[in-house]
């Protein structure tokens, strides 16, 4: 946990430093191209994670790789900043907290982890392909995004209830379910903001 907190502190420092640099000197040349390449790379990585997640004999390896992948997602924020983009609330909160979710619910208290992880990695295959330029997958993203979160929340509730009946500790499930519920609220906020943007654009036409 100390290592994770140190990595988060380092990442936030890099985030603020890069944001300041871009505000003074503009986007970094080649950053958009690098973002596209990274998106396709991570789409393929996510496909590999999905396949190994669905393989029960590789449970421990799958859990470790899935957790480690959440640190790599820091690259997303740095790429967006380097390209001159802004980090919205959902994006920032998700990328700063998701490795703590996987630490608690995948590495150390893994009951029921596979269902959410499989849906999450499948969503990432589509999402990063979209970021890489595969615009045809866009209509599916709101649905895959919502389903992964709702199933994850339901799984934590179900597993938590079972643990309570057995007298086992349930804080990891409250913690995991709480984080996923936070993501879902921010996800709904994003959808509403986009709806308003489309409405404003129609008014301007």
**Is the predicted pLDDT of residue 149 greater than 90, yes or no?**
yes
Query: What value does the mean pLDDT take over residues 41-45?
Result: 96
pLDDT per position as a tens digit, 84-127: 988 889 989 999 999 999 999 999 999 999 999 999 999 999 99
Higher pLDDT, 136 or 57: 136
**DSSP output for 36-99:** HHHHHHHHHHHHHHHHHHT-GGGHHHHHHHHHHHHHHTHHHHHHHHHTT----HHHHHHHHHHH
The DSSP result for 99-124, as a single string, is HHHHIIIIIIS-TTHHHHHHHHHHHH
CA gap 72, 135 in Å, rounded: 23
* CB 46 within 8 Å of CB 38: no
Higher pLDDT, 181 or 204: 181
> What does the pLDDT average to over 177-196?
93
Where do the domains of the chain lie? 2-204
- 38 pLDDT higher than 70: yes
Give the pLDDT band of residue 205 (cuts 50, 70, 90).
Answer: low
Q: Which residue has the higher pLDDT, 4 or 22?
A: 22
CB atoms within 10 A of CB 64: 14
When pLDDT is averaged across residues 42-54 and rounded to a whole number, the result is: 96
Poorest-pLDDT segment among 31-35, 80-84, 151-155, 194-198: 194-198
Stretch 38-62: mean pLDDT: 94
Mean of the per-residue pLDDT values of the chain:
92
Span 32-39, average pLDDT: 94
pLDDT the model gives residue 163: 95
């Amino acid at each position: 946990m100390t290592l994770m907190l140190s990595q988060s502190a380092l990442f936030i420092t890099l985030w603020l430093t890069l944001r300041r640099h871009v505000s003074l000197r503009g986007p970094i040349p080649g950053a958009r191209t690098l973002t596209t390449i990274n998106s396709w790379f991570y789409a393929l990585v996510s496909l590999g994670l999905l396949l190994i997640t669905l393989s029960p004999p590789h449970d421990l390896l799958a859990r470790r790789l899935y957790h480690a992948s959440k640190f790599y997602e820091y690259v997303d924020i740095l790429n967006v900043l380097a390209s001159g983009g802004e980090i919205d609330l959902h994006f920032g909160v998700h990328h700063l907290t998701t490795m703590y979710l996987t630490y608690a619910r995948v590495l150390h208290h893994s009951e029921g982890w596979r269902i959410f992880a499989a849906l999450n990695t499948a969503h990432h295959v589509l999402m990063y392909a979209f970021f890489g330029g595969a615009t045809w997958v866009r209509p599916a993203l709101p649905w895959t995004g919502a389903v992964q979160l709702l199933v994850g929340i339901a799984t934590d509730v179900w597993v938590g209830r079972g643990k309570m009946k057995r007298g086992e500790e349930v804080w990891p499930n409250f913690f995991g379910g709480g984080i996923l519920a936070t993501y879902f609220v921010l996800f709904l906020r994003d959808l509403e903001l986009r709806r308003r943007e489309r409405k404003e654009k129609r008014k301007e036409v």
